[in-house]
Structure 1
């Protein structure tokens, strides 16, 4: 044991924050299903950036809780236990919604059944392809799990390097990571045919994860920035608002930047919000994000993310096509949300939690038997 192995306090406010990111993604997909009238549809236009929030938050949470003494094999198995069982259940639910044995020209989201392509989804490799038939294969929302799988694979090694840094070093790494993200995005839009745009999405999103890691390590080394939570929320809303409307307005270079670097500016906004909320929690200040309801929703957010689009497109399969803008879409959205949330709660309680507990328990017993010299049973 070292001082770095000392348990750090749980940051339940970040669990509640995770739910808000999942709900933002839900709003984005609801805008595709049937949007609200203009301009009330605008807040959901960039809801896909909730995924960016997930990636930054994932890097932060994993690094905040990392322990140098934890074997890499144990870390990997715990991450497998956390995401794969629920992923497989969601995949089985998605197949009859998104697949058919023959082409369906009336439903562009329905694909022809292909076992080899589906197998890529089973092992979380689909996200490494830019081909939409593969990238969105199986459960379309699960392409992000390819990114998470890569993040999990590299985290122990990046963590070992990061542990050498002090607080200032961690903040320098965070700043360099942001610069790299902007530089990469610039490369995708320059040169012959934007040559860098062909990089697989999991590699493209690594800076978001690393930024979360660097910020968490700065906190672990004692960084306690005094960023007012209300100011962070205001800044986040302002940045997302600018990214939403800026590209369509004549703001010159500001419009150009919003259109070209939306993901990178959103990454910074997400990081700022995480810094404010985590710092607030570590100073002992309570937050509405820590309310038991928000924490429970945060715990359900992974399953909700996996199934909400499946529920939505199952409805589309019945009604035939996306709906036009209108206030009645609030009713449709409420119904879809209720079904998806109930399904997410069921998966969390009956699949995710027991499977994770069983797999982690098996690994702990195996490690105990090995260290005690009694062999493996």
Structure 2
């Protein structure tokens, strides 16, 4: 347990579950900006000062988070952080909770496990959250839950529905996956697409999300499940684009075309994309993944996961997705390359995978 120097008030406490590579930076931004907003408010009172709860199974991650939070936000902020042991405990302590987890199974467990889940810790009768917006709701919730995980859209809808039913409307849940990677998470310039059950839930969630996003980067997508649905569709397109770019660049080199010349022509022509402009695998392009040996960025193993989510969603609607199946096969092979060293590299490393396959084919004759 990380000791806190204050007594927690649930109404003014924000909780965070999952301090991985993305969650670490996102939570630091949310906590520091929430704390700073209170300090700069002339109407703030000591009793209303925000407090914070974290839940992370890895002790080293939890300790590093508090250290980094202290370095960025000061000792006073760090002293207002308590560590909880489960989603259930977080829900009993905090009225605003965000989660950032690996995938669907973890989300279902953290929220719905009957012994340790968030739903099990939600209060039966609690003071409603304050909201300046008049959203016309018959009942104002006492808890706002935001999940930033990229998971199966159907599962996102199911979890949100169960939370609503188990809390009898006392808790509302949004799915709010993010785009921009670790660099944007640290800078607080993420793009966040969210699905929300109501205008009131949106009004309660947006101020939190804005503290982690770029200006104009908090994007409403519709009802529960649509936020993660948009993210999955986006990453389906992105995976295919990145593979197509790699194939074009590899063919260009085989044809004797200067890689940087081809890069510039593509970005002035109809073949351009975010992958070609921002995520080039070429080491000749400054500040590209290729120029830093594919370290950082969006890992290949995560792209493989997201492509799998897209295929699962498409299968529920009998939608043929031949290019997505091909992309899955490619990234499955990328992540299995050698000792799996490419799995943790930026997904633009698919160019190196293609070159390896080409070299093997030439050697075989």
Q: Which has the larger strand fraction? A: 2
- Indicate whether the TM-score tops 0.5: no
Q: Which has the larger helix fraction? A: 1
Rg larger in 1 or in 2?
2
User: Structure 1 length as normaliser, TM-score?
Assistant: 0.22
Where relative contact order (Cα < 8 A, 6+ residues apart) is larger, the structure is 1
User: Structure 2 length as normaliser, TM-score?
Assistant: 0.22
